[in-house]
Structure 1
Amino acid sequence: MSDAGYDHATVERRWQEAWDEADAYRTSDDVEEPTYVLGMYPYPSGKLHMGHVRNYTITDAYARYRRMTGDEVLHPMGWDAFGLPAENAAKERDTNPRDWTFDCIDTMRDQMDAMGFGYDWDREIATCTPEYYQWNQWLFSRFREEGLVERRDAEVNWCPHCETVLADEQVEGEAELCWRCDTPVEQRELEQWFLQITEYADELLEAIDDLEGWPNSVRQMQRNWIGRQYGTELEFDIDGHGSVEAFTTRVDTIHGATFFALAPDHPISEAVAEEDEDVRRFIDHEADPDGDEPNGVATGLTATNPVTGDEIPVYVADFVLSDVGTGALMAVPGHDDRDHAFAQKKDLEIVPVIAPEPDEGDEPEAPDVSEEAFTDDGVLINSGDYSGLDSETARERLTEDIDTAEEATQYQLRDWGISRQRYWGTPIPIVHCHDGCGAVSVPEEELPVELPEFINTTGNPLDAAEEWQETTCPECGGDATRETDTMDTFVDSSWYFLRYVSPDLEDAPFDRERTNDWMPVDQYVGGIEHAVMHLLYSRFFTKVLADHEELEHREPFTNLLAQGMVQLEGEKMSKSKGNVVSPQRIVEEYGADTARLFMMQAAQPERDFDWSEEGVRSTNAYLTRLKEMVEEYVAEEPDGDDDAVASYVAAEIDATIALASEEYDDLTFNRALREAQDLTRTLRQYADYTAPHAETYERGLSAVVRLLAPVTPHLAEELWDELGNDDLVVDAPWPTADIDADHVTKRRRLVENTREDIRDIVDVAGIEDPQAIDVVVAPDWKYDALEIAIESDAPNLIGELMQESHIREQGDAAADYGQDLQAEREALSMTLGPDEEYDALEAAAWLIEREFEAPVTVVRAADADESALKNAEPGRPAIEIED
């Protein structure tokens, strides 16, 4: 062991060779129903960046975890190998895109191996090979046979720098820039090939509700892209910040707007956060657009309702998305479910302004919106001059009457233009007959139509490939010219996950029977930037194949995780900013396991996080200490007693296994890893406090090693081997523990609160050398009172408590405690029972003794004096310290 840490290079090389020799990651074709774990395959640019490393560490960790739990796991990798960047690079270097692409693939594959990613490389695909792209062509022809392909003149987005057509989704921002090169996009009229995705618009939209394993933000983005929403854009004045534009489909409800909401990354939100710590904390740490409940924070600002003139409070809310609508909205809790839930949470006014249509001759009756919103159209009430109008008429009238309002249409789905005027892509399998047959599909037996040799020229090199273009018409045998457009590369990625199932199949794009057994992908991981294009197109392809190629699944991905970015000092890493951290340097200096562990423990996978060299060094130091602990245990063979301390440690081992396993299931790796690191700390404290019980201590080390194995596979193999195991840890069973997670959480909270209370007393009282510490458990009646307070909805809690004779007998003590419970009623939660609290504190007493170097006595209520019992409460025992 050196000062710089353990010899990670030797360790990683040894175990990578062992995995190769054991063929550890191969998935047999005979598996009946594997767990399919997949990261979005990369474009082979030549070097992995930190975004790649994070994405693929997530999938690798989850695949390894599922493998250790006993699943057969399919975890393949391939290359999104076509595309304009390779063509441009080839032109600049006077080479050809194929050689450039495969050189990049070789480099990136080596880097992936160095990171320890456990892929089944037997299933590797590259979309630029004829063996793959012939099936793009076959699928195009099948879509055409089913009436899902059309060629027509269209106004298209044209990038003059890339000299190619762009899909609507590839034009970014209000400035309408090319997503690849930031060149302003022009409009041109060209004849283009389209896939008619609009034929599936209804199903694509309606099926989103069934994608329960997808982030809410991604599902909402797809809804908004597919659906045509007619509504109104209008301005609200926010004090000190000018006018803010909001979009609403229900301007008829504007009289019921009781608050205004901004996205967390709205410019006004960011401006307020500069001055307001609560807003900054919410934006940075609490906002969760994928949470089960809407959440937000008050800004102190008000917005002026342009119709009523009312001032309504402005909130930053995580259910408002900057890339949906305008990132700002008027909130009408009486008539919107989400707004209603938020208003109830924040105790905001809920005003009904739409009533159900009354019977003829009757007055409209206000709906009861106290418990839920009334979301239907109806008749306006409480709306001034507009009262009595039906919703549709009111929307038209209000849009006309409000000075800043105008009709607006949100996102709509258009047919997918796949024509690209470039060389490095799949040739569209069409010939244009000179004798009147028109555009004719190339017969299946003549596929693939392979690309000719690359010609380094301006514009589309295929236009210069005259010999390649010349052919004959499949229908009449006359002269014909090949189509020179190639396909959008999103065609490649719309079905690649199916090809992994049978990558070498020669007579079909995928083995239908096996694909029906293995699909859909159980866990898919990739960037949020693919929420519309790739994911929507993949869903479209899957539905078409289900209708016409006997695929039994209509959705490709059961669960989706959209991982956050790796940043440096708050900014996305990019070459142009000069803030790129090289994964290769980190691997060489600290090792792949250090890079993987730091990245996975830094934040939840969905969140952005800042790269920190200090954090990397700290992570490496932790792994080094863990290795030392295992080596010391093996060398010293401790023979401590199986006593109360060992019992506490054993319970912590079980607790860690139970909680970490739940976190791995939920892909909250940072929490799982925190559990493993906390257990490591407990084991180290145990060994420092006394000679550990060998069986307990080894079980703890074994648990830590296996809990870390999905994220730090190389060192885990090394330590697993040092602990005397004959098998590979990648094949080892996941540790198990039969324990109630809720009980564990309560026990841990009790112990930590008690230690914190002791620290506070020692600090405030200035006690430098405690002589003895008594920890007094609360009397039974207080636990009963707490349970009643939690379960009761009676307005007079104290009165209800006093109905219980054993509580009433406590007199003033019961009244005082009842008042405390009444004051904190909304925040109360159940604790352990008195006997369980006593046992938990007794087992953890050694930790307190170790920290304060004083004997600790845990006292039951029956053995304590009255003065101590007065301060003892469930979950917060009384503390008495002898100075």
Structure 2
Amino acid sequence: MSDAGYDHATVERRWQEAWDDADVYRTPDDVDDPTYVLGMYPYPSGKLHMGHVRNYTITDAYARYRRMRGDDVLHPMGWDAFGLPAENAAKERDTNPRDWTFDCIETMTDQMEAMGFGYDWDREIATCTPEYYQWNQWLFSRFHEEGLVERRDAEVNWCPHCETVLADEQVEGEAELCWRCDTPVEQRELEQWFLEITEYADELLESIDDLEGWPNSVRQMQRNWIGRQYGTELDFDIEGYGSVEAFTTRVDTIHGATFFALAPDHPISEALAEEDDEIHEFVHHEADPEGDEPNGVETDLTATNPATGEEIPVYVADFVLSDVGTGALMAVPAHDERDHAFAEKMEIEVRPVIAPEPEDDAEPTAPDVEEEAYTEDGVLINSGEYDGLDSETARDRLTEDIESAEWTEQYQLRDWGISRQRYWGTPIPVVHCPDCGPVMVPDEDLPVELPEFINTTGNPLDAAEEWKQTSCPECGADATRETDTMDTFVDSSWYFLRYVSPDLEDAPFDLERANDWMPVDQYVGGIEHAVMHLLYSRFFTKVLADHEGLEHREPFTNLLAQGMVQLEGEKMSKSKGNVVSPQRIVEEYGADTARLFMMQAAQPERDFDWSEEGVQSTYAFLERLQGMVEEYAAQRAAEDASGRSPRADEPDGDDDAIASYVDAEIDATIAIASEEYDDLTFNKALRETQDLTRTLRQYATHTDPHAETYERGLSAVVRLLAPVAPHIAEELHDELGGEGFAANAEWPTADVDRDHVAKRRRLVENTREDIRDIVDVAGIEDPTGIEVVVAPEWKYDALEIAIESDADNLIGELMQESHIRERGDAAADYGQDLQAEREALSMTLGPADEHAALESAAWLIEREFDAPVRVVRADEADDDVLGNAEPGRPAIEIDD
């Protein structure tokens, strides 16, 4: 510290160096079961932004807390270092992606160290190094061996700006924009490599229910993305094309099918487009699946309804998607909103075949479907022999009766296309031989390293002619390398396993250690990765469990999706010019100030607004706390030097009561803050800690505090703050004579009843508020005395009866108790009050506990109103005052 106040720069630099010298955050390899705390590793974009700071402060605070609770903590950091932005940045700057990436990593590492994040830097990884990405290639080969890799022609999402393929999950919004650059995505036919995630669709879906430590929103997003539907597959015959498979979840409506619809890219649609100009124009130019209304064109074909034999017209329609169901569907306008809208536009018959369930034995009445479809289940009508069946029964019967029909499942989830036409990624370890076809590169030849970067348009690997030319691993003939690289989500689908053994040279991870250390206990990152990184990581973990001996089938036990840091209600972004620089905040106010402000502003899951005033207020709090500790330490040193200790004198009764209150608040704060840290609700833990600091400051200025109580309180505050404001906590821990590092100090403990604490605090605060109201309403400027009267015991009994009773006549039930009944009119009046407030009643402390709580807190009232306070038991009070006293709301008399 400095005489000028809190010298954050000196303090933070001193303790960062001390932690580094002592290897405080290193996790030894011989720990059997560490607490694994992990933040989603960042893309090295150049500088930390506030979203990074919030994410990594959350994980750092929790890791520090668990370490102080005695856990062996694994808290590593690495870099999601491949990706198109680095390639684009290198092109713009006429450099290469590797140099650009490692320059960014160096900058961000320095900033992370300046923030005081307690990482085990010995475990640092960067996915762009051959030492890492060779294991991407090795895993690709293992997936291929297990039949989970396929190469095929596919219509893919193509970003013309990034000049690369995007996974479905990387196409955002109804406008279908690239997740990186917001360019409209196009469809192209390319030969691609796929990982067959659909083989795990059922398990990925069903095991979501076991992810109890994940946010419900993320779990639901994954359910929706996997999108399993149960339904019926059946054939409609189209003359000249034979049987065409359709999928429906509502086969009970088949008698209401009045047209058949094909996706624009269905093989029949494409064949028709070759012969018919109108269909060609629609298929290639007019079809718009994302349009505001469905559109289509009629063909000359008809389809035969397999349930009725009826011939219905065939349309090519853009609301039918080739990758949903089979790309062909029976359309029932009366019972599907999309079909209804199309039928209305094309003037196609709307035929109701499902009616609402009638009451009693009445005949079902056809719904009015002129304006909108009736989409609920019900009873079949206009359906021949199936009339009168409920929808569920009819679905079973029709699926059984129709020859081509069978129950099936359909998924929205598609296999994961990992091919990317870019340089800065993991080369796919395949050689294309004219005789042998695609051949895996042998393990002993891995890694297939990237060649020197060529600054060109399109895919630079295509231009690396010398690198491309190789020989076939099987026959030795001239061959060419695969020039696609892997989607960077492959890197992040298993990186958490590499941290357990980052330097291992003969395997991607040490299996025994991974089985001991996994799964990650607490994972923190953005909800935007709910259906990309998080789903792919679950997929990889399950494959590794099935084929590589991993004992865990889920990677992350608990997941926290942190909210955004905003400025004036808007997300910070360079394009909006509303970015607050973490570096400026650290230089001006210190890392602890930034960390503390951010963690106390809101619960981690919620967005919050950055506030310069809030930062300044947080800095002022740390200065006040530093002053309190320094003043106490200096006074203690002076007393020790003089050989006397005034604080050891026998305290009087009032001081004992005050110390009792402060001791109770210390215990309460420790217990509550600890529970909130357990739940990662840091804002509540910090609010408790700051409230205790305020109480200690009031204590020290009101009286000569008990040394043991005051020092215990200061020590508790310092340790409770240590996970979030670690630098100043180290400094103050040292000032207080603490041994070793605060980072390794024992977490304070206290055994208290949180419900009791809440009642006690509510009682004290309500009493103070009532006194304020009386003083204000009565216009009392200088009260000379305040008397607080606790309610009589019979009222507590009456309150308990009222809370537990379900009798309609509460007063009658109260009067059955003789000790209440003998109170006469007072009991009847109180009973009426209880009856009126019955729904809002809650238990309070008992009369003895209320008296003790108010007596110990009387000094706070005396400080506020500068008047002596007397807390009176019911049996010592005047009757005219006592009558106003109720449990939890003592009577108050003020002299002026």
The TM-score bracket by the shorter chain reads 0.7 to 0.9
Q: 2-side partners of 1:34 and 1:800: how far apart?
A: 58
Tell me the equivalent position of 1:512. 511
Tell me the equivalent position of 2:135. 135
Tell me the equivalent position of 1:794. 807
Tell me the equivalent position of 1:400. none
Aligned counterpart in structure 2 of residue 696 of structure 1, from 709, 714, 718: 709
Q: 2-side partners of 1:204 and 1:410: how far apart?
A: 14
Q: CA deviation at 1:802?
A: 2.2
Tell me the equivalent position of 1:681. 694
Q: CA deviation at 1:392?
A: 4.5
Q: In the alignment, does 2:767 pair up with 1:754?
A: yes
Q: 2-side partners of 1:251 and 1:725: how far apart?
A: 74
Query: Does the C-alpha gap of structure 1 residues 570 and 702 become closer, same or farther in structure 2, counting only changes over 3 Å?
Result: same
Q: 1-side partners of 2:158 and 2:3: how far apart?
A: 57
Tell me the equivalent position of 1:727. 740
Tell me the equivalent position of 2:57. 57
Give the residue type in structure 2 aligned to 1:832. L
Tell me the equivalent position of 1:261. none
Q: In the alignment, does 2:21 pair up with 1:21?
A: yes
Q: CA deviation at 1:787?
A: 1.4
C-alpha deviations, 1:214-270, integer Å up to 9, x for none? 111111111111123589xxxxxxxxxxxxxxxxx9999xxxxxxxxxxxxxxxxxx
Q: In the alignment, does 2:607 pair up with 1:594?
A: no
Tell me the equivalent position of 1:711. 724
Q: 1-side partners of 2:363 and 2:696: how far apart?
A: 73
Q: 2-side partners of 1:158 and 1:508: how far apart?
A: 34
Tell me the equivalent position of 1:821. 834
Per the alignment, in what secondary structure is the counterpart of residue 439 of structure 1?
strand
Give the residue type in structure 2 aligned to 1:157. N
1:467-866 maps to which residues of 2 (within 5 A)?
A: 467-637=466-636, 639-640=646-647, 641=651, 643-866=656-879
Q: 1-side partners of 2:890 and 2:172: how far apart?
A: 59
Give the residue type in structure 1 aligned to 2:872. V
Query: Does the C-alpha gap of structure 1 residues 763 and 202 become closer, same or farther in structure 2, counting only changes over 3 Å?
Result: same
Per the alignment, in what secondary structure is the counterpart of residue 807 of structure 2?
coil
Q: 2-side partners of 1:394 and 1:819: how far apart?
A: 60
Q: 2-side partners of 1:821 and 1:229: how far apart?
A: 54
Query: Does the C-alpha gap of structure 1 residues 787 and 395 become closer, same or farther in structure 2, counting only changes over 3 Å?
Result: farther
> Which has the higher Rg, Structure 1 or Structure 2?
2
C-alpha deviations, 1:26-80, integer Å up to 9, x for none? 0000101000000000000110000000000000000000000100000000000
Q: CA deviation at 1:473?
A: 1.2
1:393-412 maps to which residues of 2 (within 5 A)?
A: 412=412
Q: 2-side partners of 1:251 and 1:571: how far apart?
A: 47
Q: 2-side partners of 1:389 and 1:732: how far apart?
A: 71
Query: Does the C-alpha gap of structure 1 residues 731 and 203 become closer, same or farther in structure 2, counting only changes over 3 Å?
Result: same
Is the CA contact (8 Å cut-off) linking 1:40 and 1:526 kept in structure 2? yes
Q: CA deviation at 1:6?
A: 0.9
Query: Does the C-alpha gap of structure 1 residues 697 and 410 become closer, same or farther in structure 2, counting only changes over 3 Å?
Result: farther
- Gap runs ≥5 in structure 2: 232-248, 253-354, 365-375, 381-385, 397-408, 637-644
Per the alignment, in what secondary structure is the counterpart of residue 551 of structure 2?
coil
Query: Does the C-alpha gap of structure 1 residues 380 and 745 become closer, same or farther in structure 2, counting only changes over 3 Å?
Result: farther
Tell me the equivalent position of 1:218. 218
Give the residue type in structure 2 aligned to 1:684. R
1:244-643 maps to which residues of 2 (within 5 A)?
A: 390-392=390-392, 412-435=412-435, 437-637=436-636, 639-640=646-647, 641=651, 643=656
Give the residue type in structure 1 aligned to 2:771. I
Query: Does the C-alpha gap of structure 1 residues 572 and 31 become closer, same or farther in structure 2, counting only changes over 3 Å?
Result: same
Per the alignment, in what secondary structure is the counterpart of residue 101 of structure 2?
helix
Q: CA deviation at 1:395?
A: 11
Q: 2-side partners of 1:569 and 1:229: how far apart?
A: 42
Is the CA contact (8 Å cut-off) linking 1:471 and 1:480 kept in structure 2? yes
Is the CA contact (8 Å cut-off) linking 1:527 and 1:564 kept in structure 2? yes
Q: 1-side partners of 2:137 and 2:848: how far apart?
A: 71
Is the CA contact (8 Å cut-off) linking 1:39 and 1:59 kept in structure 2? yes
C-alpha deviations, 1:352-408, integer Å up to 9, x for none? x999999xx9999xxxxxxxxxxxx98679xxxx99762458999xxxxxxxxxxxx
C-alpha deviations, 1:255-306, integer Å up to 9, x for none? xxxxxxxxxxxxxxxxxxxxxxxxxxxxxxxxxxxxxxxxxxxxxxxxxxxx
Q: CA deviation at 1:874?
A: 1.2
Moved more, 709-718 or 804-813: 804-813
Is the CA contact (8 Å cut-off) linking 1:630 and 1:719 kept in structure 2? yes
Q: 2-side partners of 1:768 and 1:83: how far apart?
A: 70
Tell me the equivalent position of 2:399. none
Q: 2-side partners of 1:101 and 1:668: how far apart?
A: 35
Tell me the equivalent position of 1:67. 67
Q: 1-side partners of 2:830 and 2:250: how far apart?
A: 49
Q: 2-side partners of 1:250 and 1:757: how far apart?
A: 64
Q: CA deviation at 1:810?
A: 2.0
Q: 2-side partners of 1:449 and 1:430: how far apart?
A: 9
Give the residue type in structure 2 aligned to 1:457. T
Tell me the equivalent position of 1:83. 83
Query: Does the C-alpha gap of structure 1 residues 816 and 195 become closer, same or farther in structure 2, counting only changes over 3 Å?
Result: same
C-alpha deviations, 1:67-125, integer Å up to 9, x for none? 00100000000000000000000000111000000010011000000000000000000
Give the residue type in structure 1 aligned to 2:700. A
Is the CA contact (8 Å cut-off) linking 1:658 and 1:739 kept in structure 2? yes
Q: CA deviation at 1:699?
A: 0.5
Q: 2-side partners of 1:719 and 1:533: how far apart?
A: 44
Give the residue type in structure 2 aligned to 1:727. G
Q: 1-side partners of 2:473 and 2:184: how far apart?
A: 41
Q: 2-side partners of 1:171 and 1:796: how far apart?
A: 64
Q: 1-side partners of 2:814 and 2:357: how far apart?
A: 43
Q: CA deviation at 1:731?
A: 0.8
- Gap runs ≥5 in structure 1: 232-248, 253-352, 365-376, 397-408
Per the alignment, in what secondary structure is the counterpart of residue 892 of structure 2?
strand
Query: Does the C-alpha gap of structure 1 residues 250 and 595 become closer, same or farther in structure 2, counting only changes over 3 Å?
Result: farther
Tell me the equivalent position of 2:271. none
Q: 2-side partners of 1:794 and 1:388: how far apart?
A: 48
Q: 2-side partners of 1:506 and 1:432: how far apart?
A: 28
Q: CA deviation at 1:785?
A: 1.6
Tell me the equivalent position of 2:204. 204
Per the alignment, in what secondary structure is the counterpart of residue 794 of structure 1?
coil
Is the CA contact (8 Å cut-off) linking 1:224 and 1:410 kept in structure 2? no
Q: CA deviation at 1:411?
A: 7.9
Query: Does the C-alpha gap of structure 1 residues 460 and 821 become closer, same or farther in structure 2, counting only changes over 3 Å?
Result: same
Q: 2-side partners of 1:61 and 1:721: how far apart?
A: 20
TM-score normalised by length of structure 1: 0.80
Moved more, 387-396 or 688-697: 387-396
Q: 2-side partners of 1:570 and 1:93: how far apart?
A: 34
Query: Does the C-alpha gap of structure 1 residues 227 and 15 become closer, same or farther in structure 2, counting only changes over 3 Å?
Result: same
1:142-153 maps to which residues of 2 (within 5 A)?
A: 142-153=142-153
Q: 2-side partners of 1:690 and 1:498: how far apart?
A: 56
Q: 2-side partners of 1:878 and 1:777: how far apart?
A: 7
Q: In the alignment, does 2:155 pair up with 1:164?
A: no
Q: CA deviation at 1:835?
A: 0.6
Q: 1-side partners of 2:712 and 2:744: how far apart?
A: 18
Q: CA deviation at 1:475?
A: 1.5
Q: CA deviation at 1:796?
A: 2.7
1:73-112 maps to which residues of 2 (within 5 A)?
A: 73-112=73-112
Q: 2-side partners of 1:837 and 1:362: how far apart?
A: 66
C-alpha deviations, 1:684-704, integer Å up to 9, x for none? 000110111111111100000
Is the CA contact (8 Å cut-off) linking 1:639 and 1:692 kept in structure 2? no
Is the CA contact (8 Å cut-off) linking 1:526 and 1:562 kept in structure 2? yes
Q: 1-side partners of 2:835 and 2:473: how far apart?
A: 85
